[in-house]
Amino acid sequence: MTTRMRFYLPLFLLLFCLPCQAGAAMKIGILPASDTLALHVAHDEGLFTKHGLDVELVPFQSSLEQSAAVRAGALEGWFTDPIAMLVMHESGVAQHVIATMSRSGPEALFFGIAASPGSDISSLEQLKGKEVAISKATIIECMLDSMLQSKGLERNFVNRVDIKQISVRLQLLLAGKIDAALLPEPLLSLVRAKGARLIMDNTGLDMPLVITALRRDASRPEEVRAFRVALAEAMDRINAEPEKYRKVMMAKKLLPEEASPQYRMPRSDPANTPLPVPTKEELERIATWMTENKILRKMPVAWDMVRDDAK
């Protein structure tokens, strides 16, 4: 067996084991991210079942494997971000956004640039010209451009270093091998607990960050409506008892214990999450950034990807 065959065999086996059959559970792919908490609560506490749904959460350790499963038709839906969803849509797998899992706002910290514990960077001005580890052509780079723009800064304000693996980004930052890194929560809290300094974050922005999307051929209004209601009830429970669900996050390894004292539990705002889906203008703004950066070949029909008729 060749090296290439050995590399792809686990993925082929995974896809083979996740068939989508009529009448089977609605399979939703998830990643080990803090934003999936509401999905876990809705599943584990029977809220999906309460509203007549059979939902199976299918865990993936990487977005690459998850995307492959969506393309193969092994999942009805997935926990993702608008950029990955738009790429999937253009690749021929038509999508419907059905819920907003997290949204940037004044009190909602989800992404930030942290300076290495060993560096002398303590202000935005000192970040100029420094190396910042990101993942290019992803939501991470989009966040960097959005944050810089919100401060009136040019794209070349920092020197971008493309490091796709988030674990490597984190290790290089803590080892002082890179000046700064753009990281999501709760890893941002983790590096701050180890001495890294937060230089800039997403709180000055207003944009959808993480969503749940379904394949359009699996997007049925009555099921979407039930899914959204269950998700909203889950978020209400998290809002009511944040410390209870902090422990759930740690138990599910969505929040490292070391990061917990620094981590601020996000509070869902019903005006923004989960029921309000991204607007046409928001999706078009993201898609414009993607076309300018040659991630998309052409602008999509943004409103065609939103399932907002299942309220």
More confident residue, 23 or 113: 113
Measured between alpha carbons, how far is 37 from 246 in angstroms, rounded to an integer? 9
CA distance 222 to 94: 19
Mean pLDDT score across all residues of the chain: 90
Kindly tell me if the per-residue pLDDT of 41 is higher than 70. Answer: yes
Residue type, position 165, single letter: Q
Question: Tens digits of per-residue pLDDT, 234-251?
Answer: 999 999 999 999 999 999
Residue 36 located in a structural domain? yes
Asked if residue 284 is part of any domain, the answer here is yes
Secondary structure of residue 248 in the 3-state scheme: helix
| 251 and 188 part of one domain | no
Pick the last residue of a domain from 189, 204, 219. 204
Residue 290 lies in a domain: yes
The total number of structural domains in the chain stands at: 2
SS3 293: coil
- Domain check: are 93 and 214 in the same one? yes
Check whether residue 60 and residue 130 sit in a common domain: no
96 and 140: one domain?
A: no
- Tell me, yes or no, whether 90 lies in a domain: yes
Q: Are 77 and 85 in contact (CB under 8 A)?
A: no
Indicate the SS3 state at residue 95. Answer: strand
Domain match, 159 and 88 both: no
* 310 in any annotated domain: no
Those residues with Cβ within 8 angstroms of residue 91's Cβ, 6 or more apart along the chain or in another chain = 71
Q: Is the pLDDT of residue 305 over 90?
A: no
Same domain, 212 and 86: yes
**Are 170 and 84 contained in the same domain?**
no
Question: 34 with 91, same domain?
Answer: yes
Residues in the chain: 311
pLDDT tens per residue, range 160-212 = 999 999 999 999 999 999 999 999 999 999 999 999 999 999 998 989 999 99
Same domain, 294 and 161: no
Same domain, 98 and 9: yes
- What is the predicted pLDDT for the residue at 261? 93
Question: What's the pLDDT score for residue 105?
Answer: 81
Pick the last residue of a domain from 155, 172, 204.
Answer: 204
Is 211 in the same domain as 276? yes
Residue 4: exposed, middle, or buried by beta-carbon count in 10 A (0-12, 13-18, 19+)?
exposed
Helix (H, G, I), strand (E, B) or coil at 100: strand
Residue-range definition of the domain harbouring residue 115? 111-204
Report how far residue 54's alpha carbon sits from residue 11's, in angstroms, rounded to the nearest whole number.
25
Among 138, 171, 204, give the residue marking a domain's end: 204
With cut-offs at 50, 70 and 90, classify the pLDDT of residue 18.
very low
d(CA 205, CA 108): 10
Q: In the prediction, which pLDDT does 180 show?
A: 98
pLDDT tens column, 111-154: 999 999 989 999 999 999 999 999 999 999 999 999 999 999 99
- Is residue 311 domain-resident? no
**pLDDT confidence bin for 267, thresholds 50/70/90:** confident
Q: What is the mean pLDDT of residues 56-73?
A: 94
- Rounded-to-integer distance, Cα 260 and Cα 246, Å: 8
Maximal C-alpha separation, the chain? 58
**pLDDT for res 308:** 66
CATH of the domain at 136: 3.40.190.10
Q: Is the pLDDT of residue 12 over 90?
A: no
Burial class (CB in 10 A: 0-12, 13-18, 19+), 145: middle
| Predicted confidence (pLDDT) at residue 1 exceeds the cutoff of 70 | no
Cβ–Cβ < 8 Å for 230, 42: yes
Residue 192 lies in a domain: yes
Same domain, 91 and 224: yes
Task: Check residue 20 and give its pLDDT.
Answer: 40
Which pLDDT band holds residue 8 (cuts at 50, 70, 90)?
A: very low
Q: How confident is the model at residue 288 (pLDDT cuts 50, 70, 90)?
A: very high
